[in-house]
Structure 1
Amino acid sequence: MARVLLLFFVCFGSSLCDGFIKKHHRRQAAPSLVPVEEYWFVQKLDHFSGADTRVWKQRYFVNDSYVQKGGPVFLMIGGEGPANPAWMTSGAWLTYAEKLGALCLMLEHRFYGKSHPTKDMSTDNLRYLSSQQALADIAHFQTIMMESLGLAERKWVALGGSYPGSLAAWYRIKYPHLVHMAVASSAPVKALVDFSGYLEVVQLALARNHSDCPKTIKVASEEVINLLSHKNYKKLTADFKLCELLEIHSSMDESFFIDTLAEYIMNVVQYNMDNREFEGVKDTSITIQVVCDIMSNNSLGDSYDRYATVMRTITEMNGERCIDASYKKYTQDFKNATWTPVSTGDSGCIRHVRNFGFFQSSDSTAQPFSGIPLSYHVQQCSDIFGPEFNLSMITDSVQKTMSFMEDLKYKAATSFPNGLIDPWHLLGINSDLSEDLIAVQMEVTF
């Protein structure tokens, strides 16, 4: 049955992709457009300490519309953001749930959305935010569901896109007695401190239909740096429609502003022509083609003017009033340990990143941006979490994650779909490992 299910899921794996990191700093998860009942169950806080008996309530969702006798259980794994209940009423996985008579479950990741395992998000409590704890969460959840819903005899299939895709693959290996197979879409299963290759893929994607597009963006990015060096903050504020007058007091302020603009382009590439409309995302019409059409339009001015037009177009389509480029405000927001809409969304991403690295630096020469070195990303961690979060600490943390991954040998039925313009595919499985470990590389039309 594993082989049959793999062949089913090869075709739609990319529909699970949601990006490991929501690229734009302040981007919020889209609200669900469909009311779906939420459920809760009692979860352990620390799965690796028998003496720790503390528990908390974790959120999950159910769609039993397609259940047939003997059908499998599809378990959608949540990631670094609130679990969106829209997935319980839309998405390609439901097409296959109907074909196979599957029960559909979705589990929200600890520390995200409404799944709060601790009273706050202090640095001390964040030690319970890890992929190892998340995998144990899934196993405990499945055990509870099998007992309470009588699902012990069903075949379980773990599904996820991006980081949840990595979790799905690791879950199939670590808990083979529980899960029959996994679909790991755009799953970066290799940890890396300096992921400069991310922007290399961005450059290749931008050049596919417009060979000069990344070059023009590079020129514009360098002009931004030139204006910063001349302290022309009023012009930059007006041209890029910033929320407040740009203030540059340090190299971190400067790099943050450059990174903020660059991440709008990264976001477009990572989510190019995806299927997030059903989730309520507004900016799906902004594609690589749209960005590069603007960057090649001489009537809009020089490269810098076109770059500013791109930013204004994206923010307008996002429904954003302006661009918030204050590094001081950004770090202050993330230092807030209370459970707020910000802390339960994107701030969890940056806190989670210390286990994997994945810093998208501009240190490679084969990419279209300047001014976003690895040192900037590392200093950002130190500014938010404290001086102990330096390069040595982060490297050590990532190496431990890599050791954990290396201990998980890919021997079990898993499908690894990857879109080739998605920068995360570089850290995924891109060739078949065996008959039951299938890599699917997908070209994307523009």
Structure 2
Amino acid sequence: MRSLILVFVILCLGYDVHGGKHFRLGRSKGGNLGGPGGYLNESLPPAQWFTQKLDHSSPSDLRTWKQRYFVNDSFFDFKNQGPVFLMIGGEGPADARWMVKGAWIDYAKKFNALCINLEHRYYGESHPTPDLSIKNLQYLSSYQALADLANFIKAMNDQYRLKTDIRWIAFGGSYPGSLAAWLRLKYPHLVHAAVSSSGPLLAKTNFMEYYQVVVDALREKTGDEDCVNELKTAHKQVVDMMQYHPEVVEKEFRVCKPFKTAKPNDIKNFYNSIADDFADLVQYNEDNRISADVRYKNLTINTVCNMLTSPGSEPAYKKLAAYNSIILDKSNQTCLDYSYDNMIQELRNMSWGSEGGRQWMYQTCTEFGFYQTSSGEVEVFGDHFKLDFFIQQCEDIFGKKYNEAFVDASADWTNNNYGALDIAVTRVVFVHGSVDPWHALGITKTQDNDAPAIYIRGTAHCANMYPSSENDASELVEARVEIEQYLAGWIGMP
């Protein structure tokens, strides 16, 4: 067992004790779409800035701000114009490396497309307001983001003197995958087609299915129940020891403060944190992202499950704690900060120095819900972080009015506005992976031949968007080809 741990555990310098959760509400720090793998220091286009309207819902409000975007016109023939590919920014900074790498760039080369990436308002360097106060966050919504895109498209048509019948194709992964479909729905005269990857179209407050898919993914990738059973045993052992020997859990899981000082919400946060370690593992399993540290590239469902199920005398909780240590080291944290108050204080920070956690929390409280509760997999993770735990966060961060009724009503409004899983669109391909927990809120079966679905067995979040790799499963390879075929038809059709 010790040698197995050494394969994974690498000591790093510069730890951050209270650095906030590396993975929260199904979102990694910096957003759900990572940088594309295979980037080899190619030259990148410089950032450009677009003068954007602050409030699209008010014609009399003339306030503006600067929105960041990137352009790659190296494949585009201005005299014989091909399509325009628009990558939609999401809940993190726009990454210029996507301008030279990724499946959409491979498609762009074949179709001679102009490639543009527009950063989402309130994320990255796109700051519409002086700070992130609740008063200013009122302009952060999917509605405003879509209107940003529409306004931007019209301006680019003029700026680049594009022909009147130019075909814009929207691309997005995760939340931007939803935006890509919604952009085609709301602005069909501006956007000809869209590729919606891993987009949750159904807003849902209690997203209990998330952890059900996490557990199903462990079974799917390992081929048996051993890993799930070992994880179930480990969590039950932790619960028992929290009652009788909390000091053992403190030591093994490297917590920042003793449990004797913990409040009920702290304990919920602790259980949510160790469950999130597996959520993060599953959501990004075997994808071709740029790794912050190549030494952790071998952190996959199968290697971690091998670690948990390895023969030996060590109890299950010790193996789970060893994996927790790997995640702490990987995210440069000396200890597991499970303090609820610390988390709330971080998310109350209204300065632009944050990495997007406050902004995404606001969108979940006012539009989507998406709370990954323990209610669907009580047998494995215990029922320690129910819906009320997340609603409490909305209230503690933004105010008492953001209660369960408010969040439910907000999710209902989102579903009514866009159509949820009954969205009425054409020329949109919906792409999901079976290992990705977000597929539970998306379209995975073709309901209309004009809006096909591609469901890729064995792949995780946004896998089809990353550059191809020699390690790609055959179904992933085929999915990228199928997407290209749809694009060929839509770009060529009247």
**Taking structure 2 as the reference length, what is the TM-score of the superposition?**
0.80
- Contact 2:89–2:117 (8 Å) recurs in 1: yes
Question: Aligned to 2:57, what secondary structure does the other structure show?
Answer: coil
Would the aligned equivalents of 1:300 and 1:306 in 2 still touch at CA under 8 Å? Answer: no
Please list the CA deviations of residues 32-70 of structure 1 after superposition, one character each: whole Å capped at 9, or x if unmatched. 975541110111111011121111110111111211322
* Matched letter for residue 27 of structure 1: K
**Pairing of 1:369-388 with structure 2 (within 5 A):** 369-370=381-382, 371-388=384-401
Q: Match for 1:147 among 140, 147, 158? A: 158
Q: 1:300 to 1:28 in 2, by over 3 A?
A: farther
Higher mean alpha-carbon deviation, 284-293 vs 185-194, is at 284-293
Residue aligned with 2:359, SS: helix
Correspondent of 2:262 among 208, 227, 249:
249
CA change 1:338–1:424 in 2 (3 A) is same
Q: Compute the displacement of 1:411 (Å).
A: 2.9
Question: Per the alignment, in what secondary structure is the counterpart of residue 207 of structure 1?
Answer: helix
Q: What is the identity, as a one-letter code, of the residue corresponding to 1:115? A: S
Which SS does the other structure have where 1:52 is aligned? coil
Aligned counterparts, 1:364-443, within 5 A: 364-365=376-377, 368-370=380-382, 371-406=384-419, 409-443=423-457
Match of 1:42 in 2: 51
Rounded to whole Å, the distance in 2 between the matches of 1:177 and 1:284 is 43
Matched residues, number: 423
Change (3 A) 1:248 1:166: farther
Secondary structure, in 3 states, of the residue corresponding to 2:376?
coil
Q: Which residue number in structure 1 is paired with residue 310 of structure 2?
A: 297
Shift in Å, 1:248: 4.5
- Other-structure match for 1:82: 93
Structure 1, 180-189 or 31-40: larger mean CA deviation = 31-40
Pair 1:222-2:222 in alignment: no
Q: Structure 1-normalised TM-score?
A: 0.89
The 5 A counterparts of 1:130-169 are 130-153=141-164, 154-169=166-181
Look up the equivalent residue of 1:316 and give its one-letter code.
D
In structure 1, distance between residues paired with 2:123 and 2:380 = 33
- Give the Cα separation in 2 of the matches to 1:377 and 1:165: 24
Q: How far 1:249 sits from its partner (Å)?
A: 3.2
Query: Which consecutive residues of structure 2, in runs of 5 or more, have no partner in the other structure?
Result: 1-22, 460-472, 474-494
1:305-320 matches, within 5 Å, as: 305-320=318-333
Note the alpha carbon deviations across 1:88-145, whole angstroms, 9 max, x for none.
1211111111111011100111110111111111111111111111100100111111
* Residue of structure 2 aligned with 1:213, choices 212, 224, 227: 227
- Corresponding residue to 1:103 among 107, 114, 119: 114
What is the Cα deviation at residue 152 of structure 1?
Answer: 4.2
Question: How far is the alpha carbon of 1:304 from its aligned partner?
Answer: 0.4
Name the counterpart of 1:171.
Answer: 183
Change (3 A) 1:434 1:31: closer
The Cα shift of 1:312 comes to: 1.5
Measured in 1, the distance between the counterparts of 2:84 and 2:378 equals 44
Deviation at 1:324, TM superposition (A): 2.7
Residue 266, structure 1, aligned to residue 279, structure 2: yes
Structure-1 separation of matches of 2:312 and 2:390: 36
Alpha-carbon distance between aligned partners in 1 of 2:139 and 2:410, rounded to the nearest angstrom: 14
Instruction: Give the 3 Å change call, closer, same or farther, for CA 193–102 of structure 1 in structure 2.
Output: same
> 3-state SS of the aligned residue for 2:306?
helix
Structure-2 separation of matches of 1:117 and 1:245: 42
Per-residue displacement from partner, 1:254-311 (whole Å, max 9, x unpaired)? 0011111111110010111111127878744311111211110132711100101111
1:385 CA drift (Å): 1.4
Residue 94, structure 1, aligned to residue 105, structure 2 = yes
> Given the superposition, is the C-alpha separation of residues 378 and 230 from structure 1 closer, same or farther in structure 2, using an over 3 Å criterion?
farther
Cα separation, 2, equivalents of 1:367 and 1:44 = 49
Per-residue CA deviation, residues 313-364 of structure 1 (Å, 9 max, x unaligned), is 2333445444332221111011111111x2x422222111111011111112
User: Which amino acid is 1:275 matched to?
Assistant: N
Distance in 1, matches of 2:243 and 2:133, equals: 37
Q: Which residue of 1 aligns with 2:214?
A: 202
The amino acid of 1:57's aligned partner reads K
For structure 1, which segment, 237-246 or 352-361, has the greater mean C-alpha deviation from structure 2 after superposition?
Answer: 237-246
1:238 to 251, 256, 271: 251
Alpha-carbon distance change, 64 to 329 in structure 1, aligned in 2, over 3 angstroms: same
Structure 1 201/26 Cα, relative in aligned 2: closer, same or farther at 3 Å? Answer: closer
AA in 2 matched with 1:439? A
| 1:184 pairs with one of 191, 196, 203 | 196
Q: Is 2:362 the partner of 1:348?
A: no
Aligned position for 1:15: none
Question: Partner letter of residue 227 of structure 1?
Answer: M
Given that residues 25 and 371 in structure 2 are in contact (C-alpha distance below 8 angstroms), is that contact kept between their aligned partners in structure 1?
A: no
The question of whether the paired residues in 1 share the 8 Å contact of 2:233 and 2:316 is answered with: yes
Q: Distance in 2 between matches of 1:57 and 1:388?
A: 31
CA contact 1:196–1:363 (8 Å) conserved in 2? yes
| Secondary structure in 1 matching 2:129 | coil
Q: Deviations over 1:195-225 (max 9, x none)?
A: 1011111111112214121222122223223
Q: Is the 1:283–1:318 contact (alpha carbons within 8 Å) kept by the matching residues of 2? A: no
2:108 touches 2:115 (CA, 8 Å); kept in 1?
yes
Give unpaired runs (5+ residues) of structure 1.
1-20
Aligned AA for 1:431? K
Q: What secondary structure is seen at the aligned counterpart in 2 of 1:324?
A: coil
Cα–Cα, structure 1 residues 282 and 305, in superposed 2: closer, same or farther, change >3 Å? same
The structural deviation recorded for 1:386 is: 1.8
Report percent identity of matched pairs: 39
Q: Report the residue type matching 1:173 in the other structure.
A: L
Alignment deviations for residues 373-417 of structure 1 (CA, whole Å, 9 cap, x no partner): 111111121121122211111111111111112298423200111
Change (3 A) 1:149 1:244: farther
* Paired position in structure 1 for 2:76: 67
In 2, are the aligned partners of 1:214 and 1:368 still within 8 Å (CA)? yes
Q: Aligned partners of 1:25, 1:434: CA distance in 2, in Å?
A: 30
Does the C-alpha gap of structure 1 residues 429 and 118 become closer, same or farther in structure 2, counting only changes over 3 Å? same
What is the distance in 2 between the residues matched to 1:149 and 1:231?
67
